[in-house]
A and B are shown apart, each in its own frame.
Chain A
Amino acid sequence: MSWITQTFSSTIGRKLLVAASGLFLIIFLIGHVSGNFLLFKDDGGQAFNEYTQFMTTNQLVQVVRWLTYISILTHIIVTIILTIHNKKARPVGYAEAHPSANSTWSSRNMGLLGTLIAVFLVIHLGNFWYKMKVGEVPLVTYESEGTLRDLYSVVLFSFSNLWYVILYVVMMIFLALHLAHGFRSAFQTLGWRHKKYTPIIEKVGLAFAIIVPLLFAIMPVYIYIITR
Chain B
Amino acid sequence: MNLTLKVWRQKNPSDKGGFKTYKVNDISEHMSFLEMMDVLNEQLAVAGEEPVHFDHDCREGICGSCSMYINGRAHGPQKLTATCQLHMRHFNDGETITIEPWRARAFPVVKDLVVDRSAFDRIIQSGGYVSVNTGGVPDANEIPVPKQIADEAFSSAECISCGACVAACKNASAMLFVSAKVSQLALLPQGKVERKSRVERMVAQMDIEGFGSCTNTGACTAECPKGISQENIARINREYYNAKFTSDNV
The reply on B212 being an interface residue by CB < 8 A is: yes
Chain A 79-93: CB-based contact to B (< 8 A → 1; otherwise 0) = 000100110111111
The reply on B2 being an interface residue by CB < 8 A is: no
Q: Which of A92, A97, A101, A188 contacts B230 (CB 8 A)?
A: A188
By beta carbon, the residue of chain A nearest B77 is A101
Which one of A2, A95, A110 has the greatest number of beta carbons of chain B within 10 Å?
A95
Chain A contact residues: helix, strand, loop or mixed: helix
The reply on A103 being an interface residue by CB < 8 A is: yes
Chain B proximity of A185: nearest CB distance (Å) = 4
Q: Is the interface on chain B under 10, 10 to 19, 20 to 34, or 35 or more residues?
A: 35 or more
The reply on B56 being an interface residue by CB < 8 A is: no
Q: How far is the CA of A190 from the CA of B240 in the complex (A)?
A: 10
Chain A 96-114: CB-based contact to B (< 8 A → 1; otherwise 0) = 1111011110011010000
The reply on B22 being an interface residue by CB < 8 A is: no
By beta carbon, the residue of chain B nearest A107 is B217
Chain B 206-250: CB-based contact to A (< 8 A → 1; otherwise 0) = 110011111111110011000000110111111011001100011
Q: Is the CB of B216 within 8 A of A188?
A: yes
Which one of A2, A11, A193 has the greatest number of beta carbons of chain B within 10 Å?
A11
Chain B residues positioned under 8 Å from A7 (CB to CB): 244-245
**Given A13-B244, A89-B106, A101-B222: A110 and B215 within 8 A (CB)?**
yes
Q: How far is the CA of A191 from the CA of B214 in the complex (A)?
A: 12
Q: In chain B, residues 162-180, which have Cβ atoms closer than 8 Å to a Cβ of chain A? A: 168, 170-173
**Given A86-B170, A104-B217: A92 and B233 within 8 A (CB)?**
no
Q: Is the CB of A14 within 8 A of B222?
A: no
**Given A3-B249, A11-B207, A12-B240: A94 and B72 within 8 A (CB)?**
yes
Chain A proximity of B128: nearest CB distance (Å) = 16
Q: In chain A, residues 1-60, which have Cβ atoms closer than 8 Å to a Cβ of chain B? A: 2-3, 6-7, 10-16
The reply on A192 being an interface residue by CB < 8 A is: yes
Q: Is the CB of A86 within 8 A of B237?
A: no
By beta carbon, the residue of chain A nearest B237 is A191
Q: How far is the CA of A88 from the CA of B106 in the complex (A)?
A: 10
The reply on B71 being an interface residue by CB < 8 A is: yes
The reply on A189 being an interface residue by CB < 8 A is: yes
Chain B proximity of A164: nearest CB distance (Å) = 32
Q: Is the CB of B216 within 8 A of A89?
A: no
Q: Is the interface on chain A under 10, 10 to 19, 20 to 34, or 35 or more residues?
A: 35 or more
Which one of B206, B210, B214 has the greatest number of beta carbons of chain A within 10 Å?
B214
Chain B residues positioned under 8 Å from A184 (CB to CB): 216
Chain B residues positioned under 8 Å from A86 (CB to CB): 170-173, 212-213, 215
Chain A residues positioned under 8 Å from B210 (CB to CB): 88-89
The reply on B104 being an interface residue by CB < 8 A is: yes
The reply on B19 being an interface residue by CB < 8 A is: yes
Q: Is the CB of A103 within 8 A of B103?
A: no
Chain A proximity of B49: nearest CB distance (Å) = 21
Q: Which of B168, B207, B216, B249 contacts A10 (CB 8 A)?
A: B207
Question: Would you list 16 pairs from A and B whose C-beta atoms are within 8 A, ordered by A residue?
Answer: A10-B240, A11-B173, A13-B240, A15-B237, A16-B241, A86-B171, A86-B172, A86-B213, A89-B173, A90-B105, A93-B103, A95-B19, A98-B71, A101-B72, A184-B216, A192-B234
Known: A92-B103, A94-B72. 19 other contacts (CB 8 A): A10-B207, A11-B212, A12-B203, A12-B240, A16-B237, A89-B173, A90-B103, A90-B105, A93-B103, A96-B71, A99-B170, A102-B73, A102-B222, A103-B219, A103-B222, A181-B216, A189-B237, A191-B238, A192-B234
